[in-house]
Amino acid sequence: MLHFDRAAALAAFPEARRLRFFGDVAEPEPQARPAGTLAERLAGHVRNVLGLTEVPGDVPLTDLGLDSLAAIRIKSLVEAELGHALPASVLVRGATLDDVTGAVTRKGVGARDGAERAAVRLFGPVDDIEQRAPEGEAERIAEAARREFGVRVNLLDDPTPRALAVHLRAAEQAAVDAAGPTLSLRATGSGPPLFLLHPAGGSTFVYRGLVDLLGDGFPVHGLERLAEGGPVVERAARYVALIRRIAPDGPYRLGGWSFGGALAFEIARQLVAAGEPVGALALIDAGLPVPMPPERAATLLTERFVGFLHYLRDTYDVPLEVEPARLRELGPDEQVRLVLAEMTRSGVADRLPPAVLRHQIDSHWDTRALDDYRPGPYDGPVTLYRCTRPTPWAVRDPRYDHDDVARGWDRCCTDLRVVPVDGHHLNLLDPPAVTAIAADLRRLL
């Protein structure tokens, strides 16, 4: 008879829990599926950032729509709430909500002692991480899809968490697409509506936490990305026509974070130029590019694309090389198309999660529109909520990453109020920064 100390064995070889024999005799891993307030807080943050009503604990977050921007927002929330570093690369390489919650509970992520164990756990292949849904989990997710989006999921086809997550995400996107370029962030209220513009490459789902803090006295409409894109001035003109249909009489109240702020500004400028009232205009750390000579701007654009390729290589482990000299020979839009064509030719596009690929493509076209935007003057009151901390950009561009307190808006605004907010650009819509913004914005509205 062999004496077997399972506790000692599993302490020495924790990965043995994945083997069927040891899994049968081992006690549940401590806090492997943590419950309580910590788990719920983390789940709530992920739901809000991804704009979902349900987040299965054992589905890779990338399958639920997580992209690099969402990863940085979740990282900031975890670090602000728990004081432990969480690399964004952990999230985009297949970690599930249970992985993140369990690792944070054990204080293993980012800590020097145990960092390698956390990396093994969180960077594991999706096939190893993904398990079949526990009893009742598949039904719960399917019920959420039916209740929220009216879409029925056939569980007999494929009951795995990944398949169910794909159904749920597709159903949510279908709901957004069916609504056209508007998304109702709050339908009730008798006051003048608030219109919030989408950020670069993203959806107005990012404003859900802010809207919840603004009170319920007025409806809030999210203006989603227009499929045809185009220059900022042309996009704003289409949004103006849409806003007039929704609220023919005004006064118009507008706001936006990042690129959405530039869209909100141009919409307000066009409305005022047409003699229509704008009651409030709020820019959440929106910025204009620093004016530079064309030659320098072209060089910076090439550097931005080279930095993006390095980001893909370092974050997703997808090798893709395009010679900078080849990019410099092309115009701005042609550089975008070349990078996208190379991503397709090399198979990189097929290896990236769909949400990541869509976010990156849309972000580049939106940023190109902002590069070329030259706003006209605006005499109405403008409030700029300005971050006070350095932003952990994945790819830096000195035209936008600078210390100008007014972010360039003093060049075209005669009545600009700057409100400093403790946070960096990518976490201003998350606690605690969003609470400060909401408190001031409530007074403004």
Inter-residue contact 62 to 102 (CB < 8 Å):
no
Superfamily covering domain 182-289+373-444: Alpha/Beta hydrolase fold, catalytic domain (3.40.50.1820)
In order along its 445 residues, the chain shows pLDDT tens digits of 444 444 444 444 443 443 444 444 444 443 333 345 777 878 888 888 887 888 888 888 887 888 777 887 887 777 766 666 676 666 776 778 887 877 666 543 333 223 223 222 322 222 222 333 344 545 555 555 455 444 455 555 555 555 555 554 555 455 445 545 888 899 888 899 999 999 998 888 889 889 999 988 999 999 999 887 899 999 999 999 999 988 988 899 999 999 999 999 999 999 999 999 999 999 999 999 988 888 888 888 888 888 888 877 777 777 777 888 888 888 888 888 888 888 887 777 777 777 777 777 888 889 989 999 999 999 999 999 999 998 887 777 888 877 889 999 999 999 999 999 999 998 899 889 999 999 999 999 9
How much is the pTM? 0.65
Chain-centroid distance of CA 23 in Å reads 37
The pLDDT, as a whole number, for residue 411 is 94
Residue type, 70: A
Q: Is 278 helix (H, G, I), strand (E, B) or coil?
A: strand
The pLDDT, as a whole number, for residue 71 is 81
Architecture of domain 25-129: Orthogonal Bundle (1.10)
The pLDDT, as a whole number, for residue 85 is 64
137-149 and 161-178 helices, crossing angle to 10°: 10
Domain ranges of the chain: 25-129, 137-178, 182-289+373-444, 294-371
> At which residue do the structure tokens 């107005």 appear?
204
The pLDDT, as a whole number, for residue 386 is 97
The pLDDT, as a whole number, for residue 254 is 98
The pLDDT, as a whole number, for residue 1 is 40
Give the number of other Cβ atoms within 10 Å of residue 390's Cβ: 10
Under 8 Å CB-to-CB from 54, ≥6 apart: which residues? Answer: 47, 140, 141, 144, 168
According to the 3-state scheme, what is the secondary structure of 344-365?
HHCCHHHHCCHHHHHHHHHHHH
How far is the C-alpha of 138 from the C-alpha of 161, rounded, in Å?
Answer: 7
How far is the C-alpha of 424 from the C-alpha of 388, rounded, in Å?
Answer: 6
The pLDDT, as a whole number, for residue 354 is 73
End-to-end CA distance of the chain: 77
The pLDDT, as a whole number, for residue 163 is 55
How far is the C-alpha of 72 from the C-alpha of 67, rounded, in Å?
Answer: 9
The pLDDT, as a whole number, for residue 32 is 38
The pLDDT, as a whole number, for residue 118 is 28
The pLDDT, as a whole number, for residue 4 is 44
The pLDDT, as a whole number, for residue 434 is 94
Are 25-129 and 182-289+373-444 equal in CATH topology? Answer: no
